[in-house]
């Protein structure tokens, strides 16, 4: 009975298909029209909301700006010069055991007004092609967003904001495109800023127009803490960006602004360096905005790896052809230098990881934890030539793991970052960084009961960590440089991968 009923229903459906098709097409058309109407209403609601917010903010910005002159820069964490050469370890060693739980952690905590109005081009879109570190990216930008400032006074800035707020849906669509491309490349939030800046530099000739375009997109579409100011020296607009205040940023100057009793650093990232700026103080809307993060949540991949470096793995009696991406390297050189933990946990490109998996992926199963760590430690000690950043670049520069592969030389913190990433990624062992005066090393928790004669160990967080120094050539697990044996290092605590 059930089978016959099923056949009858099928026959009935086939019989009525032709007549039903027209009804379905009408239904689909009606649903499409309803959806389009819904989207239009949502856009109108978004524009009404942003227009009200912008009107309030424009009125606030139009008030006379204050002079801020506490321009500062953070100093390097190295209190003493680095080692000029990578030392070679002796064959014998005498170690020590230290309790580091009481040591302070170095840890990531997660003008006159000009007459006239702002002007903009006619309605329509402009296809903007941006060269982003060698990758050609295309953006459709509505010409109503190509607004030119009439001047750089408070009133001129307020007029710009009133004009651009009329095109918030177009701005949001552009931001979504920028965000999609950022995610595809594995960019951090600083990378989003650089992509916005690249679009601005294609749209405008004037730095002041570029600053305002970046300011509006980052603040109103991205939701980031950003200020626009006017240099007291050059009489040009500057962009001030709140970069993750839980970390130090070493190569950008900043101004500190009071936000509900808490000082927030805003770094001068665009426009000419200035000892003082005119800008506005706290606006209540800014309390809901976010600081720009420097952390990478995914492997950086601006295109594909285009270079290969052959390196020896003595402990496995083999070599590895390790690819890297020259576009990634150019981008990383423009990322603000910050605290050490970021460099220990940022991933290699997927192509590099594939080759590393072939060599190191089986270490955990093939060897004891001690032997596996020794293989990786020897690799980092011997595969790379040592040179300080001052000698190689004339400035301090911390490497992400991929940069260790790309550059001909590296120094202590670079080797430690690569070693730490390899051990955590392929052996799944806990690692901490160790900061000595003028030197960075690491320590690994082997998570097994072993005995290494003369080994330097550290008790931290209820676990026993063995010193591993990727710069001390030939030094095995637990071997410490003699000149640091009387020093208690600071701990560089790393977040989970």
* Residue 379: per-residue pLDDT: 97
Whether 36 has a pLDDT exceeding 50, the answer reads: yes
Buried-exposed string 361-384: b where 16+ CB fall within 10 A, e elsewhere? eebeeebebeebbbbbbbbbbbbb
Can you tell me the distance from the alpha carbon of 329 to that of 303, in angstroms, rounded to the nearest whole number? Answer: 12
Can you tell me the distance from the alpha carbon of 374 to that of 43, in angstroms, rounded to the nearest whole number? Answer: 59
Q: Which of 384, 364, 362 is nearest to 313 (CA)?
A: 384
* Residue 104: per-residue pLDDT: 40
* Residue 371: per-residue pLDDT: 96
Can you tell me the distance from the alpha carbon of 228 to that of 164, in angstroms, rounded to the nearest whole number? Answer: 15
Is beta strand 97-99 parallel, antiparallel or unpaired with respect to 457-460?
parallel
The enclosing H or E element of 188 equals none
Output the pTM of the full model. Answer: 0.83
Is beta strand 385-386 parallel, antiparallel or unpaired with respect to 409-410?
parallel
Whether 258 has a pLDDT exceeding 50, the answer reads: yes
Burial of 276 (0-12, 13-18, 19+ CB in 10 A): middle
Residues 386-445: tens digit of each pLDDT: 999 999 999 999 999 999 999 999 999 999 999 999 999 999 999 999 999 999 999 999
Poorest-confidence range of 35-44, 77-86, 277-286, 330-339?
35-44
Can you tell me the distance from the alpha carbon of 465 to that of 487, in angstroms, rounded to the nearest whole number? Answer: 16
CA dihedral angle for residue 175, residue 181, residue 182, residue 186, rounded to 10 degrees: 160
Can you tell me the distance from the alpha carbon of 145 to that of 174, in angstroms, rounded to the nearest whole number? Answer: 10
| Pair 346, 296: CB distance under 8 Å | yes
What tokens appear for 445 in the block?
A: 């928790």
**Which pLDDT band, with edges at 50, 70 and 90, does 85 fall under?**
confident
Residue 283 gets which letter from DSSP? -
What is the chain's mean pLDDT, rounded? 86
């Amino acid at each position: 009975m059930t089978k016959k009923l099923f056949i009858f229903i099928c026959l009935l459906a086939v019989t009525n298909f032709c007549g039903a098709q027209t009804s379905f097409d009408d239904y689909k058309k009606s649903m499409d029209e309803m959806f389009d109407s819904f989207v239009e209403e949502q856009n109108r609601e978004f524009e009404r909301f942003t227009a009200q917010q912008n009107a309030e903010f424009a009125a606030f910005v139009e008030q006379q700006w204050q002079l801020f002159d506490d321009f500062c820069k953070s100093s390097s964490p190295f209190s003493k010069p680095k080692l000029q050469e990578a030392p070679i370890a002796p064959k014998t060693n005498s170690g020590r055991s230290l309790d580091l739980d009481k040591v302070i952690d170095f840890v990531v905590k997660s003008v006159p007004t000009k007459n006239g109005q702002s002007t903009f081009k006619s309605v329509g879109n402009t296809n903007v092609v941006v060269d982003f570190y060698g990758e050609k990216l295309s953006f459709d930008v509505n010409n109503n967003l190509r607004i030119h400032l009439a001047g750089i006074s408070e009133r001129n800035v307020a007029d710009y904001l009133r004009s651009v707020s009329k095109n918030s849906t177009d701005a949001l669509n552009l931001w979504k495109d920028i965000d999609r491309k950022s995610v595809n490349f594995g960019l951090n939030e600083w990378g989003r800023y650089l992509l916005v800046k690249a679009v601005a530099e294609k749209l405008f000739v004037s730095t002041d127009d570029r600053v305002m375009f970046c300011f509006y997109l980052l603040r109103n579409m991205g939701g980031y803490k950003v200020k626009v100011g006017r240099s007291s020296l050059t009489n040009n607009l500057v962009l001030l960006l709140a970069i993750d205040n839980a970390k130090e940023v070493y190569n950008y100057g900043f101004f500190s602004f009071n936000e509900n009793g808490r000082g927030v650093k805003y770094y001068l990232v665009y426009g000419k360096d200035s000892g003082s700026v005119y800008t506005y103080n706290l606006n209540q809307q800014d309390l809901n905005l976010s600081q720009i993060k420097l952390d990478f949540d995914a492997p950086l991949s601006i295109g594909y790896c285009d270079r290969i470096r052959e390196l020896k793995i003595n402990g496995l009696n083999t070599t590895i052809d390790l690819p890297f991406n020259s576009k990634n390297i150019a981008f990383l050189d423009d990322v603000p230098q910050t605290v050490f933990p970021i460099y220990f946990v940022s991933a290699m490109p997927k192509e590099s990881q594939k080759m590393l998996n072939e060599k190191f992926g089986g270490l955990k199963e093939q060897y004891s934890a001690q032997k596996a760590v020794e293989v990786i430690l020897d690799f980092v000690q011997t595969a790379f030539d040592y040179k300080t950043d001052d000698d190689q670049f004339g400035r301090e520069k911390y490497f992400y793991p991929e940069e260790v592969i790309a550059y001909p030389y590296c120094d202590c913190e670079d080797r430690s970052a690569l070693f730490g990433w390899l051990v955590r990624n392929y052996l799944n062992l806990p690692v901490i960084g160790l900061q000595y005066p003028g030197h960075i090393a690491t320590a690994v928790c082997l998570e097994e009961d072993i005995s290494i004669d003369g080994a330097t160990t550290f008790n931290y967080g209820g676990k026993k960590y063995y010193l591993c120094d990727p710069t001390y050539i030939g030094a095995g697990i637990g071997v410490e440089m003699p000149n640091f044996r009387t020093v208690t290092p600071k701990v560089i605590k790393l977040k989970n991968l």
